[in-house]
Amino acid sequence: MIVSVTNRLLCSDSLEDRVRALAEGGIDCILLREKDLREEAYEDLALRCRDICDAFGTKLIVNSRVGVAKRLGINTVQVPFPMLLENEGICRDFPKAGVSVHSVFEARKAQALGAAFLIAGHIFETACKQGLPPRGLSFLNEVCSAVSIPVLAIGGIRPKNLSAVKTAGAAGVCVMSELMACSEPNARIQEYKAAFSANG
């Protein structure tokens, strides 16, 4: 599974045009991040992205804004681990909720609280986490081995390292910069999909 994590500041086009290009190109999921937006602006953007994704049969995941997801009828959210601890009902309200984790303890706890999938990272060096050392493939393997739900790897994921990520146990990957900034989203998606499929 290839998940595109949005960041409109990296796009040369509008985010809506980028989402449309990604959906048309066959991306599996789009995680609408845009953490800096206020709730109203985020909801307006999520509504437009939802309609685009629905037209192509692409899953849209709401990042943290569970109220927005409820109002727009979007059934999949992704939340940071501390937010899950503050509101354990998230996984009851959203049976397909994903949780970002940074340790084996968090992974096991998130699964116990009903998480449907995990996002673990960051695995490799990435501009999004400058100054923070990556947790590496051994961390990813430990998380994948500790739980029975799908784990998606995030952080510096590129076609050239997909083999190692998949060998570590990841069921998929989350990609931001490579898909937000590229000039040909369709071709880049196919490159990721081919690299992931080629390794089992």
Which sequence positions are flagged as catalytic?
A: 122
Closest to 78 (Cα-Cα) out of 86, 91, 139, 88: 91
Check if the beta carbon of residue 178 is closer than 8 Å to that of residue 188: yes
Check if the beta carbon of residue 21 is closer than 8 Å to that of residue 4: no
- For strands 117-121 and 151-154, give the pairing: parallel
Closest to 154 (Cα-Cα) out of 138, 133, 139, 176: 176
Amino acid at residue number 1: M
Question: Phi and psi of 98, rounded to 5°?
Answer: -110, 155
d(CA 134, CA 139): 9
Task: State both tokens at 24.
Answer: 């048309």
Residue 156 backbone class (left: φ over 0; alpha: ψ -120 to 50; beta: rest): left
Give the number of other Cβ atoms within 10 Å of residue 150's Cβ: 17
